[in-house]
Chain A
Amino acid sequence: MSEEDDNEEEDNDEEDDNDEEEDNDEEEDEEEKEVRPETLSPEELEELKEAVDERKKLIQGLRGKPWSMKKKLGVAGVCGEIRGRLGKGKGRKLYAYKVMMAKKWMKFKRDFENFKTACIPWEMKIKEIESINGAPYGSMPRKTVPRAEEGSAMDFAVLWDFGGYAEYSVLFYGYYNNQRAIGWLKFRMPLSYFLVGVGTVAYSYMVVIRTMARNANESGVGDDYSFNFSWKMFTSWDYLIGNPETADNKFASITTSFKEAILEEQESQKDDNIHLTRFLRVLANFLVLCCLAGSGYLIYFVVRRSQKFALDGLENHTWWERNEVNMVMSLLGMFCPMLFDVISALENYHPRVALQWQLGRIFALFLGNLYTFIIALMDEINLKREEEKIIKFNITTWEASLYNGTLSENSTGPPITIHPADVPRGPCWETMVGQEFVRLIISDTMTTYITLLIGDFLRAVLVRFLNYCWCWDLEAGFPSYSEFDVSGNVLGLIFNQGMIWMGAFYAPCLPALNVLRLHVSMYLQCWAVMCCNVPQERVFKASGSNNFYMAMLLVILFLSTLPAIYTIVTIPPSFDCGPFSGKKRMFDVIQETLESDFPAWFSRVFSYASNPGLVLPFILLMVLAIYYLQSTSKSYKEANVELKKKLQTQNEENKKKNKRAALKAQMDLEEARKAASQTTEQQNNNNASPQDHEADEEESQSSSGERMYHGKNGRNPPPPPPPPSLVRNQELPATRAPVPRIYHHGNHGAQGYLPGFPRQSEPRIYRVPSLQRH
C-alpha cells in the first residue's frame, strides 16, 4: 500500500513537496525496501534532492499555474499532508505576512492616488465630458488657470465702463501710491509692484516651457503604433468599472477612439490629383489673406472713429458708438473663423493638417486685431501725455494762486486743507490703458456667453421644438445641433490668457477678475455641452501631444508681454499717479532700491555686471550654447529614427522566420503522424496474435505521443517514434535509473518499448516488472 502511495505521488504530473531530508530518507527507505536491499549511492541521493527541489519550486509557483482549482488543490492537499507529518509551517506564515504587507502597501498607494485626484477641481465633471467627447486634450483646461496673486474678491461693478469709483480703485494702476516705504514694516510698494509684474511674466515663461519639455518627452515614449488596433480591442476595457454610468461613458469613449483610428487608416489610403489641389490651395490662401487684411483695416477704421468720438465727448454718442471698437473686435472674432472653415473646404487636406491650418489662421486673425488695438492705444497714450504737459502747467498756476491769495510771503501759517477731491489731478495714461483692457475682456466674455446662449442653446431649442412642424428634418440636416468645437474653445482660452498678460501690469486685479470669469464660464459651458451639444463628427487632435497648443501659448506670451515691456522701458510714467510717479522711467525704482537699501558694494557689483562689455559676451555665449544643444538634439533625433527603423525591420524578419518555422513544424507533424500510423499498421500485420497487449500498448503509446504534440505548453513537438518514452521521462524527472517505475496506467511494460525494436535489447531496470509479469 505504501509502495503504491509512493508511486502515486511520483506518478502524477504534479510533484509533491518534499523539503526535509528526514522525509527523503523515509521515502527512500520505503522504496529501498521495495526494490533493492542495497543503500542508495551518493549520486542517487543527489539526484533525489534535485528532484525534491524541483518539486518545491513547483509548489511555490502553484498560484501562477493556469490549472483548474481542483488540480491545484489536489497538489496542495498532498503537500499539506506531508508538511503536516513533518510539523513544518513557519515558511508559510512568513509568506502570508509578506503578502499582507505588500497588499497593504498597494492599498495605501491606491488611496493616495485617489486623494490626489480628488483634489483636482472639477475632475469628475471633466471626466464626464471627456467620455462623451473623447479625451483629446487631457489636462489642457486645468493647466491654463492663471495664478491670482491678489486673489481677494473685488466688488466694483458699479459702473459698467469702469469709470467712477472703479477707476480709482485697487483695480487700476492709478490707485497705488508712490510712497517709497509704507508703514512700520517699510513695505516697498513701488518695488514690489514692479517685481511682481516682471516676476509673473518670468514665471509664466518657465511654466510653459517646462510643460512643453515634459510633453515632448512623453510623446517620444508612447509612439509605438505597431499594435494599434489590437491593443484597442483587447486592452481598452477597464474591468474595474463598477458603475453603470461610468460603463456607458467608457463604451462611448472606446467607440470614439475606434472611429478616430479608423479615420486615420482611411485617410492614409487616399490619393489625389496633385495640380488641381495645389491651385485650390493657393486660391484658398489668397482668400484668407484678403480676409485678414480686411479685418485689420476695419479695426483700424473703427479705432480712428472712436478717437474722433472721444474728442467730441462721449456723452453725445449712442451706446454702440461708444463701445464700437470692442464690439467690432468680438464680432470679427466670431464670424471670421467660420469663413475660414468654409474656405478650407477647398484645400482638401488631411483633417489634422486642415485643423492646424485653421488654428493658425484664427491665430493670425486675433493677433492682427490685438495689435491694431494696441497701436490705437499708443495713439491715445501719446494724447494723454500731451495733455499732461498742459495740466502740469495749470496745476502750478493753480497752486500759486492758492497760496498767493491767502498768505503773504515770509510767513508761515496753518497749511491750507483742501479736500482731495478738489485738487486738480493730472491725467493717468496707465489707468486708461488698464481700463481699456478690462473693458475688452468684459466685452469678450459677454460676446462668448451670448454666442453660447443664442448659437447653442436657442438653436438646440428651436431644432428640438420646431422639428415637429417643419418640412425637413431639422435634426439631421441644417441646422441641427451644434458641435462642441474643442479647438475653437482652446484657442479662445489661449487668447483670453494673452490679453490678461498684456493688461496685468496696468490693472493689477485683472487676473483675479479673470479667475472669477473662468469659474463662471466653466459651469456655463459645462451645462451647455451636456445639454445642447453633440460630439464632433470627426475627432482629430491638432497634435499628438499637447505641444501644439503649448507652442501657441508661448508665442502669445511673448507677443503679449512685448507691448507691456516696451511701455515700461520707453514711456515715462505719469507725474501724478501710480507707484512710479515722479521718476523718469519705471525701472528706475530698481536703481533707487539698490542705492538706498543695499550695502554700497552691492551696487558697485551690479554696475559692473550691467556693463555692456560683460553683457555682450555673455549673450554671445548663450547663443553658442543654444546652437550646440540644438545640433546635438538633432543628431539624437536622427539616431532615434534610425533605431526605430532597425527595430521595425527586425520585427518583420522575426515574423517571416516564425511563419517559416510554423510551416515547417506543421509539415514535420504531418510526416510524424504518417510514419507513426504506418509503423503501427506494420506492427499489427507482423505480430499476429497474442501481442494484443503490446499492440494496445503501442497504440496508446503512439496516441499518448500524439497527445504530447497537442500540449499547450509550447514544447516543441518531439521528433518521431523513439521518443515517447524519452518525452515521458522529461516530464517525470526522477524517473531515471534506479527508482522503479511501476506505471499506474495501462502501458507499463511498454514504456521503454520502441516500436520496431526487439524487446530484449532494453537494458532498463524498469523492464523487470514487465518481465516478472510475463
Chain B
Amino acid sequence: MGNKQTTFTDEQLEAYQDCTFFTRKEVLRLHGRYRELAPHLVPLDYTNNPDIRVPLTLIVTMPELKVLCSVAGQENPFRDRIVETFSEDGQGNLTFNDFVDMFSALCETSPRELKTIYAFKIYDFNRDNFICKEDLQRTLNKLTKGELTPEEVTLVCDKAIEEADLDGDTKLSFADFENMISKAPDFLSNFHVRI
C-alpha cells in the first residue's frame, strides 16, 4: 500500500477483492505471474480491461500446474481439465479474469462448497454434468499412469459408483458427488493450489 501502480484502477482492484479471496497485493502479484507467461501478449496496463487471452499451451508451463504432466510428455487431463474448466471459451485459453478466478477458487481460503463444485466440473471430462463410468476410467488411468490392468480399472470404477451413487442411475450426479466428498477427510487439504 502506498506505491503507485498503474496496472489497475482502484475500482478494478476493489472489484477483484470483492469477487475473489485475494487481497490487492496478491492480485497485483497474480498479474505479474500472468504477464510472465506471455510478456508479449499481456500488457502492463489493465486499466481499460483489454481482452487478452493466454492460450492453453502457455498456461500449462506454470510450475504450479506443470507438474501434473507426466514424465513421458503425455498430457495429464487434470492440468488441462482445470484450465479448461475455468476458461470462458471452454478451450483452455484464459483471460486474466479467468486466471484470477481459477486461483481464487483453488486457494486455501476458498470454501468447501465452492471447491466441490469445481472439482465436479474438473472430473467431468465430457461435460455432461454427470461423472459417468468413462470419466472415472479416465481419472483412474491418469492417476495410476496406466499401471493397473483393465480388469482392475473396471473393478475400481464399479466399486466407486456403487459406493457413491445414490439415485441408481450408474453415474454420479452433483448431489452424489457432493454427498461423498463432504465426508472425505483429505479433500480440502489436497485440493488446493498455492500461488
List chain A positions with a Cβ less than 8 A from chain B.
59, 62-66, 68-70, 72-73, 76-77, 79-80, 84, 89, 92, 95-96, 99-100, 102-103, 106, 222, 224, 226-244, 246-248, 251, 254-255, 258-259, 261-262, 265-266, 654-655, 658-659, 662-663, 712, 714
- B190 and A226 within 8 A (CB): no
B152: which A residues are within 8 A, CB to CB? 258-259, 262
B185: which A residues are within 8 A, CB to CB? 222
A235: which B residues are within 8 A, CB to CB? 181, 184, 186-187, 190-191
- By Cβ-Cβ distance, the 10 closest A-B pairs, closest first, are A69-B97, A662-B167, A72-B19, A69-B101, A76-B15, A229-B159, A229-B160, A76-B18, A255-B144, A66-B117
B21: which A residues are within 8 A, CB to CB? 63, 99
B71: which A residues are within 8 A, CB to CB? 244, 248
Q: Which listed residue, A69, A70, A233, touches B139 by the CB 8 Å rule?
A: A233
Beyond known contacts A100-B23, A239-B106, A240-B194: 15 more, CB 8 A cutoff: A63-B20, A63-B104, A66-B118, A96-B17, A96-B24, A99-B109, A226-B163, A234-B184, A234-B187, A236-B143, A236-B186, A259-B152, A662-B166, A663-B167, A712-B129
Q: Which segment of B30-38, B39-47, B62-70 sits at the interface?
A: B62-70
B186: which A residues are within 8 A, CB to CB? 231, 235-236
Q: Is B111 an interface residue (CB 8 A)?
A: yes
Q: Is B58 an interface residue (CB 8 A)?
A: no
Given A66-B114, A236-B143, A258-B144, A265:B159 Cβ within 8 A: yes
A80: which B residues are within 8 A, CB to CB? 11, 14-15, 18
Given A80-B11, A224-B183, A229-B159, A247:B68 Cβ within 8 A: yes
- A70 and B14 within 8 A (CB): no
B64: which A residues are within 8 A, CB to CB? 242
Given A84-B11, A227-B180, A240-B192, A69:B187 Cβ within 8 A: no
- A239 and B163 within 8 A (CB): no
Q: Which listed residue, A222, A243, A712, touches B67 by the CB 8 Å rule?
A: A243
Q: Is B88 an interface residue (CB 8 A)?
A: yes
A658: which B residues are within 8 A, CB to CB? 166-167
- A238 and B147 within 8 A (CB): no
Bound-complex Cα distance A259 to B139 (A)? 16
Residues of B in contact with A, size category: 35 or more
Given A77-B15, A235-B191, A262-B156, A230:B164 Cβ within 8 A: yes
B84 CB to nearest chain A CB (Å): 13
B153 CB to nearest chain A CB (Å): 9
Given A73-B19, A80-B14, A251-B145, A231:B67 Cβ within 8 A: no
- B143 and A62 within 8 A (CB): no
B192: which A residues are within 8 A, CB to CB? 239-240
Count of A-B residue pairs with CB < 8 Å? 177
- B143 and A237 within 8 A (CB): yes
Bound-complex Cα distance A654 to B23 (A)? 42
Q: Which listed residue, B155, B166, B184, touches A231 by the CB 8 Å rule?
A: B184
- A99 and B163 within 8 A (CB): no
Bound-complex Cα distance A659 to B173 (A)? 12
B2: which A residues are within 8 A, CB to CB? none
Bound-complex Cα distance A236 to B11 (A)? 40
Q: Is B28 an interface residue (CB 8 A)?
A: no
B147: which A residues are within 8 A, CB to CB? 255
- A234 and B181 within 8 A (CB): yes
B85 CB to nearest chain A CB (Å): 10
Q: Which listed residue, A64, A84, A248, A714, touches B175 by the CB 8 Å rule?
A: A714
Given A227-B164, A234-B181, A64:B19 Cβ within 8 A: no
A233 CB to nearest chain B CB (Å): 6
- B180 and A69 within 8 A (CB): no
Bound-complex Cα distance A248 to B147 (A)? 13
- A64 and B114 within 8 A (CB): yes
Bound-complex Cα distance A477 to B88 (A)? 55
Given A228-B163, A235-B190, A99:B23 Cβ within 8 A: yes
- A233 and B24 within 8 A (CB): no
Bound-complex Cα distance A207 to B118 (A)? 45
Given A64-B114, A242-B64, A262-B156, A255:B148 Cβ within 8 A: yes
Bound-complex Cα distance A255 to B144 (A)? 5
Pairs A–B under 8 Å by Cβ, sample size 17 = A63-B21, A66-B105, A70-B88, A72-B18, A76-B14, A76-B15, A80-B11, A80-B15, A99-B109, A102-B109, A226-B183, A228-B159, A237-B78, A239-B192, A258-B140, A258-B144, A265-B159
Given A99-B23, A233-B136, A659:B167 Cβ within 8 A: yes
Residues B132-164 near A (CB distance < 8 A): 136, 139-140, 143-145, 147-148, 152, 155-156, 159-160, 163-164
- B190 and A233 within 8 A (CB): no
Q: Is B193 an interface residue (CB 8 A)?
A: yes
Closest to B79 in A: A239
- A227 and B183 within 8 A (CB): yes
B166 CB to nearest chain A CB (Å): 5
- B156 and A258 within 8 A (CB): yes
A651 CB to nearest chain B CB (Å): 10
Q: Which listed residue, B168, B169, B190, touches A239 by the CB 8 Å rule?
A: B190
A728 CB to nearest chain B CB (Å): 24
Bound-complex Cα distance A312 to B84 (A)? 86
Given A259-B148, A662-B167, A712-B174, A62:B88 Cβ within 8 A: no
Q: Which listed residue, A103, A247, A254, touches B144 by the CB 8 Å rule?
A: A254
Bound-complex Cα distance A265 to B111 (A)? 34
Bound-complex Cα distance A463 to B166 (A)? 52
A84: which B residues are within 8 A, CB to CB? 11
B97: which A residues are within 8 A, CB to CB? 69-70, 73
Bound-complex Cα distance A265 to B155 (A)? 9
Bound-complex Cα distance A714 to B175 (A)? 9
Given A235-B191, A237-B78, A240-B194, A655:B166 Cβ within 8 A: yes
Given A64-B113, A79-B18, A237:B164 Cβ within 8 A: no
B155: which A residues are within 8 A, CB to CB? 262, 265-266
Bound-complex Cα distance A95 to B18 (A)? 10
Closest to A244 in B: B67
Closest to B193 in A: A239
B108: which A residues are within 8 A, CB to CB? 106
B160: which A residues are within 8 A, CB to CB? 229-230, 233
The residue in B14, B19, B156, B184 that gathers the most chain A C-beta atoms within 10 A of its C-beta is B19
Bound-complex Cα distance A266 to B109 (A)? 40
Contact with A along B85-119 (1 / 0, CB 8 A): 00010000001011011001110111101100111
Bound-complex Cα distance A662 to B174 (A)? 13
- A62 and B136 within 8 A (CB): no
Bound-complex Cα distance A235 to B98 (A)? 24
- A255 and B68 within 8 A (CB): no
Given A69-B98, A229-B160, A251-B145, A239:B191 Cβ within 8 A: yes
- A92 and B167 within 8 A (CB): no
B189 CB to nearest chain A CB (Å): 8
Q: Is B125 an interface residue (CB 8 A)?
A: no
Bound-complex Cα distance A4 to B163 (A)? 53
Bound-complex Cα distance A72 to B15 (A)? 9
Closest to B21 in A: A63
B174: which A residues are within 8 A, CB to CB? 712
Bound-complex Cα distance A488 to B171 (A)? 44
A103: which B residues are within 8 A, CB to CB? 23, 109
B98: which A residues are within 8 A, CB to CB? 68-69
- B19 and A69 within 8 A (CB): yes
Bound-complex Cα distance A84 to B14 (A)? 11
Q: Which listed residue, A92, A238, A239, A255, touches B17 by the CB 8 Å rule?
A: A92
Closest to B78 in A: A237
- B190 and A237 within 8 A (CB): yes
Bound-complex Cα distance A241 to B67 (A)? 7
A244 CB to nearest chain B CB (Å): 6
- A242 and B11 within 8 A (CB): no
Closest to A65 in B: B114
Closest to A222 in B: B185
Bound-complex Cα distance A222 to B186 (A)? 11
B18 CB to nearest chain A CB (Å): 4
Q: Is B130 an interface residue (CB 8 A)?
A: no
